Amino acid sequence: MSGIEWLIAALVLIGAVFVLLGSVALVKLPDFYTRLHGPTKATTLGLGSLVLASMVFFNFVQNELSLQQLLIALFLFITAPVTAYMLIKAGMHQKVTAIEVTKNQHLMQASGKKPAP
């Protein structure tokens, strides 16, 4: 295995591990609001690393110009915050409970109202 290939292997493994960790977090974390942070990790680091691996692989191992993968990353970066926003909105709307230690829980009810400063 050449150095490039080792690089690719490392990036792939890092990416896969982060993706897995995101999923583990989803199972492990105690409430909806904390779980929501899990997939963000998978998106950002895991997929970023995999996209990089893929690009390196095609450009340097396969020797074909391939930058498409960037688009996937771009797409996810644009959409992930919206997804999270909509999910948490839905969660607060459905009054999904947060774990007790959560601070400022009253703010969840603030939706739609001008909050008291």
Residue 85 Cβ vs other proteins, minimum distance, rounded to whole Å: 5
Least Cβ distance, residue 65 to other proteins (angstroms): 5
Site for other proteins in 11-40 (CB under 8 A): 12-13, 15-40
| Residues 19/42, Cβ–Cβ less than 8 Å | yes
- Size, binding site for other proteins by CB under 8 A: 95
Query: For residue 83, with 0-12 CB atoms within 10 Å meaning exposed, 13-18 middle and 19 or more buried, which class applies?
Result: middle
Question: Could you tell me the two tokens for 6?
Answer: 């080792």
CB 18 within 8 A of CB 46: yes
Among 3, 60, 63, 103, binds other proteins (CB under 8 A): 103
Contacts to other proteins from residues 57-96, by CB under 8 A: 57-58, 61-62, 64-72, 74-96
